[in-house]
Each structure stands twice: as C-alpha cells, then as structure tokens.
Amino acid sequence: MPTFLSDPTLGVYLVLLLVALAGVGVWVRNRSRAAAIFAAVAVGLLLALFGIDRGFESPREECVRKVSAMATAANARNWPAVGTHLADKFEYHSRNKAKFLADVAPAALLHNATANFTAFDRDNFEELADGRIRIGFVGQFDTPGNARLVLYIEAVFAKDADGAYRMQGFKVYDYITRTKSGEQTLPGM
C-alpha cells in the first residue's frame, strides 16, 4: 500500500474534509443531482482514506509500534521480548544483539530505570535509499530517585527475511542539540 494512503498526513485529511464539507454544503443549498454526486464522492474518498489508514500499517507506524513494544518489554525486564524486535545483524557500539542484551539488562537493573519513548513525528522519519528506515524520537528514562534522563534517539530499521521491520542499531544524542553535538552512549554501557 502506498505510504501516502496508509499513513496520510493531517493536511491530506484536512483537504479532503474541506472538500467533503463544501460538497455537502453545495448539495444542501442546491439539492441538485450533480451536487449530490460530488458530495457523495468527496465523503466516500474521505471514508476510504480513513479505512486504508486504519487498515494498513505503514513502515513508519510499524517502526513506532516496535519501539513502543521494546520500551514496554524493557520496563517489564523481559529481555527476550526486546530481542524479538532487534535484527540478527543488530549493532550498538561494537556490541551484537546477544552482547547488547547481556549488557543492557544489568545496566537497567542497576539504575532501575523505566523508559518512555515519545515524539514520533514525520520530521524525524526518513526512508533511506537502500530500503532501510531511520526514525528519530525522544527517550525519557526515569529512576526511582526522580532522576530523569532525556535523550534524542535515532534508530535504523530494516526488513528481515520474514518481511517485518527490525532495529539494526541506534544512536543516542543530547536532547537539546540533537545530532549537532555528536553521539553519546547510554549510561552504564
């Protein structure tokens, strides 16, 4: 499904809504057959777009869902569930998938942090030329002592053999300066 249909922007919805409202308004005023057909087509297009948007998951929506699922699994300390969303060729600072999961578990337990990922907007989403997807988002990590660490994270996803997107790696940056200040590492790693 084309991305402009399965993940339309708010602007597309607004344009179709305005066209549909104008069509219905003209039909209410004139009660002509042509106005009724125009209004029905405009409302039908709006409903069809909504159905496609809800019925088909775009690559961006799949990546957002996977990152959110990883946060939920990490907060539950379910590291095998986190690993299901990582690609076999995952790498983070010279750590492969198994080494990363082995290192992140003790670090998370040591800090007893919970993770929350937000701000998945379209400005921080890019389909790369090789079919991979880069998505940026805000990561917020809270500890029981009310210490809060807020980071900007860029993750790269690629399709695996089963057709599902999985994270190949990620980079961590300062929240304010984003990528301008250079890459950082996760605390404790």
Checking if the pLDDT of 123 tops 90, the result is no
As annotated, the residues of the chain forming the CATH 3.10.450.50 domain(s) are: 59-181
Task: State the pLDDT at residue 63.
Answer: 92
State residue 7 phi and psi, 5-degree precision: -145, 60
Tokens 């940056």 correspond to what residue? 173
* The dihedral sign for the CA sequence 43, 47, 52, 57: positive
Task: Please give the Cα distance from 135 to 120 (Å, whole number).
Answer: 8
Task: Please give the Cα distance from 118 to 129 (Å, whole number).
Answer: 26
Checking if the pLDDT of 109 tops 70, the result is no
**Could you say which architecture CATH assigns to the domain 59-181?**
Roll (3.10)
Task: State the pLDDT at residue 188.
Answer: 65
pLDDT category at 179 given cuts 50, 70, 90 is confident
More confident residue, 75 or 1: 75
3-state secondary structure of 167: strand
pLDDT category at 16 given cuts 50, 70, 90 is very high
Question: Around 91, how many Cα atoms within 13 Å sit in the side-chain half-sphere?
Answer: 3
Entry pTM: 0.81
